[in-house]
Amino acid sequence: MIRKESRNGIGYSVVDLHDVRHVFVSAVPQSGQTLEEQARDALRTIERVSEEEGVRGSIVHQAVFLRDKERVDECRQIMHTFYGPELPATTYIPQHPCDGKLLSIEALGIGRGQGEVQILRCSENLVITRHSGVSWIHVSQVLPDPHEVGVYGRSLSAFRKMREVLKRADADFSQVVRTWLYLGDIVGPEADTQRYKELNRARTDYYEGIGFGAGHLAPGVNGAVYPASTGIGTDNHDILMSCIAIATERDDLAILPLENPLQTSAFDYSCHYGPKSPKFARALALTSGSCATIFVSGTASITNSESRFHNDPARQTHQTLDNIAALISEHNFGRHQMPGFGASLENLVLVRVYIKRPEDYPIIRAVCQSRLGELPTIYAVADVCRPELLVEIEGIAFSHR
């Protein structure tokens, strides 16, 4: 079901699920001096893997990590020229690649193998794939209206813009299963509070009354239901969002929000961490038949609700991976009344590792490689939502009951 490869600056995973091939790729350029040269090197590598795995022309979602926040428009033009009418939904993230390159790229390709796949490229920030009775809606590069001010107002504006894009796909915000919220100077001050706390206040207010997963929640799910999410810093001073939503009439698809036995649920954090707690699930599993797709939210070195191992990047990385292992474990799925769908770190097919201090990159990468092995991984410099946290990791896993 899962096959992984890693060589010469590229890592990729291949997942055959419901007769449809999914290819997850992370590409770091190996040649070139200019942005265009490095971008084309990485893109050609993605293209080569796509062709080898039978998904040529089928890249549907892409995240581009940029060293220079001022070069988004230049990078966007490079992508338009390379992909032409097959442009994926692309988010341009102002985060330094840890290896010093001008950019790195994470991409998702959907194959047209034995299963029937339909790809609708509506715009550069909306691509829909339909297969196995499910529509996957990829929304990228959501920015607030220019006239909005403050983190709270600009975050609300971006959520509204996201809803507008989803409406173009005949989808509702309640169908969102995964979000990424990128906020510049995330732990910096905002009036008499903190910028991340203002983002959480806006998210809480916007999510009020939204019935996430309605009609498809797994048996036994009670209480709060929110999408999986990552809230992470960037090099600029603004908010940027992207998301994935699903639409289906299949009655066997179940949405299961997962909470971690080692951690307090983020939405239950005390007021010490902000007047309104972060509204996200630690992970969100989508099960259909005997298979599960697990979106792992941004995870850090926190147990219960407290940060652990201050100023120790290696131990923080180990704790973060321990948290992910516990989150997706068979034991935890059993706790959530869905036994048999559990996974391990070996079932991860893609991860992003956000590193606060560039000098910690070799230490954190060594821990990740020792525990994750051959796995497509993006390493990017980004501030984490608490000053003492040095690393945050997110990912996607697949399991088979």
**DSSP state string for 64-96:** EEES-GGGHHHHHHHHHHHHGGGPPEEEEE--E
- Please tell me the total count of domains within the chain: 1
Whether residue 65 is predicted with pLDDT greater than 90 in this model: the reply is yes
Angle between helices 361-372 and 313-327 (to 10 degrees): 30
Contact yes or no for 315/309 (Cβ under 8 A): yes
Average pLDDT over residues 190-209: 96
Quick one: pLDDT at residue 114?
59
**Contact of 36 with 50, CB cutoff 8 Å:** no
Give the pLDDT confidence score for residue 270 in this predicted structure: 73
Which pLDDT does position 112 carry in this prediction?
Answer: 61
Q: How far apart are CA 331 and CA 337, in angstroms?
A: 10
Lowest-confidence pick of 70-79, 263-272, 318-327? 263-272
The domain of 13 spans: 2-400
Rounded to an integer, the average pLDDT of 61-81 is 98
Q: What is the mean pLDDT of residues 114-137?
A: 92
Question: Residue 115's pLDDT band (boundaries 50, 70, 90)?
Answer: low
How much is the mean pLDDT over the chain? 95
More confident residue, 74 or 54: 74
Confidence of residue 263 (pLDDT cuts 50, 70, 90): very high
8: pLDDT strictly greater than 80:
no
pLDDT of residue 113: 55
Q: What is the pLDDT of residues 126-176, one digit of tens each?
A: 999 999 899 999 999 999 999 999 999 999 999 999 999 999 999 999 999
The Cα–Cα gap between 142 and 243 comes to 9
pLDDT-above-70 percentage for the chain: 98
The confidence band for 1, taking pLDDT boundaries of 50, 70 and 90, is: confident
